[in-house]
A and B are shown apart, each in its own frame.
Chain A
């Protein structure tokens, strides 16, 4: 359990600058997720923390202890690799205790920690097998065990769930988070999957091209994105972005003819917003649909329907552009009879769940 502070981190690979300048504070005991599209620098950042990559500028400190430039084995951190990196020529027990033996830990202690780990990860009975004889899920647990056994200050995870099949991924997600809580660990977790980020994190760090776009707990990032990038990355299916002109008059706002439900707080915030070159962002789940038209609704011509059982995702065209909405078929019996291509629906955004984005900078004008 320790905090990690990164200040002024700059990293280039030759002429290619991957991280221009980054500051980050990881709080002791938290489960922090680094997420972003490929190439955003999340893995590089993790490896910098681990010491597997050097930095061109900046410092890394753990509990006030400056570890910049220190050998990865001396930072008291453990890493779980995407491919698990288990030593193929060693047994499970040898894999798990390797690091402890390297540090010449007392034999009794080694055995104690080995037993604990085997129990915690349900790997009892597998101690003498080699990695090649294990299933993917078992190998993943050995990789985790290797880190747990070291009782490090910080746990680092480099997309450890990517190689598991979907079902296993879901259950392992829970197990991993439980382990973190039980061990009172500080964990830094890298993933490209925003669902993993949302379900596991205490705080999410969203990166794009080496820059931090937003650091916030999952709920906050979801409800209150800072910019277009964050808004579109988080949430599945993706947020809709519509083009049009903002009109405001007498405390009422509309966007390209679509009236926007407006609270006072919101009204104040967007009062100074530009009227053109703005985008309206609405999540599919924040759209209310009906078969009857209304003043506060616009027309949606249905083009495609995707059933998922409980919901249906309906995509169609409007005067403001293409729109995908989520219909809860049980809530609205009116629509549960089935929506088909060619149908017409009438839609409007739900209260205060829409966002405005500056067309050039991408900043969220309704943020806050």
Chain B
């Protein structure tokens, strides 16, 4: 529980932009009308997450001491935050597919 609280706290760094990208992806799937369009959207999601990760790693690196104090390494923190983000993206995409049918 404490782990997820800290991971979610870190995810809040880029929650708005990550969710905006997810919504944009779902919107393009709806516009395109084909479920197979999920594949390029998935890769777009992966690439934008990598870019977001690099941005946080380089420009907001001061904050990591806070998380180190909570027992998190950078790798673990990013892995958990991206797992949360991908879970949100999967839920949104499934809803989009339901809307498509």
The reply to whether chain A is a binding partner of chain B is no
- A residues adjacent to B (C-beta < 8 A): none
